Amino acid sequence: MISSVVYSSQTGVHASLAETVEKHCRSEWKQPIREHTRQAFEGFRAVLGDSALNGFILDTGCGTGQSTVQLAKQFPHSLVVGIDQSGERLGRGIVSIAQKNELLKQPVVMGNCVLLRAEVADFWRLLKINKLTPEKIFIFYPNPWPKSAHLLRRWHAHPVFPTLMGFGVPIELRSNWRIYLQEFALAVEIITANQPQLELMKREELAGAFCTPFEKKYYASGHSLWRLQTDKQSLSPRT
Ligand SMILES: C[S@@+](CC[C@H](N)C(=O)[O-])C[C@H]1O[C@@H](n2cnc3c(N)ncnc32)[C@H](O)[C@@H]1O
């Protein structure tokens, strides 16, 4: 299926981005954490507690979890946790029907790979509250929210962004909308002492080695696909 390129009235970084990020840094986000994600978090803690692995890696908004399975092979000494709020999408084509039903209630564990249904912003906050830090965070093809008015729904302009940056760990983000990554890079620079790297992924490297179903679909539709990587981050004195 051909997918159309992201359309936005924005031709560059949103004019209110810097002000928005700075505002989030000054004020604590107080929205109550939702109960279903608390329960999912307890399930995650039980799996983590039983694991003899070194640490954990997050695949944020993992969709079906295809990328989580791949990352688990790539990082065999870590628990790789795929999180998505969509019970319909999570585990599709990856787990059995019985496990898919189980996913609605608790994490499904396959070796060092875990799939978990939860809301990610709340999950990040619970990690922080419980002083648990992932080794690395992947965010593959987040919903772009390209309407200017939806700026606050993009991860880098969301009130949870300072929490995400507070982990201080490397992040890899991919998108078919370059402006999303340019904005994310600017938001990282505002909060940390870090300048992320932004690159166009080479089509010949991607071909046949798709990380996620969305990557495959966008590639087949001829989109340019971008990757942004941050190093370990330290918070800047401004925050
Ligand atoms: C465009 S899809 C990309 C899925 C997958 N990463 C891929 O590339 O195939 C975005 C995914 O993020 C999930 N998502 C969006 N907001 C979320 C949130 N707040 N918490 C958990 N998952 C979320 C959606 O359910 C969806 O599966």
Residue ranges of domains in the chain: 17-25+34-230
Per-residue pLDDT tens digits for 160-188: 999 999 999 999 999 999 999 999 999 99
Is the C-beta atom of 121 inside 6 A of ligand 1?
Answer: yes
Is the C-beta atom of 61 inside 6 A of ligand 1?
Answer: yes
| Nearest residue by C-alpha to atom 12 in ligand 1 | 61
- pLDDT band for position 122 (50/70/90)? very high
Is the C-beta atom of 180 inside 6 A of ligand 1?
Answer: no
Name the one residue in this structure whose structure tokens are 């990352």. Answer: 71
Which atom of ligand 1 is found nearest the CA of 90? 27
Q: What is the chain's mean pLDDT, rounded? A: 94
Is the C-beta atom of 87 inside 6 A of ligand 1?
Answer: no
- For a mutational test of ligand 1's pocket, the pick from 6, 44, 62, i.e. the residue with the most ligand atoms closer than 8 A to its C-beta, is 62
Is the C-beta atom of 167 inside 6 A of ligand 1?
Answer: no
> Residue 84 has what pLDDT?
98
Is the C-beta atom of 122 inside 6 A of ligand 1?
Answer: no
Chain-centre distance for alpha carbon 135: 13
Q: Which CATH number fits domain 17-25+34-230: 3.40.50.800, 3.40.50.150, 2.40.30.10, 1.10.10.10?
A: 3.40.50.150
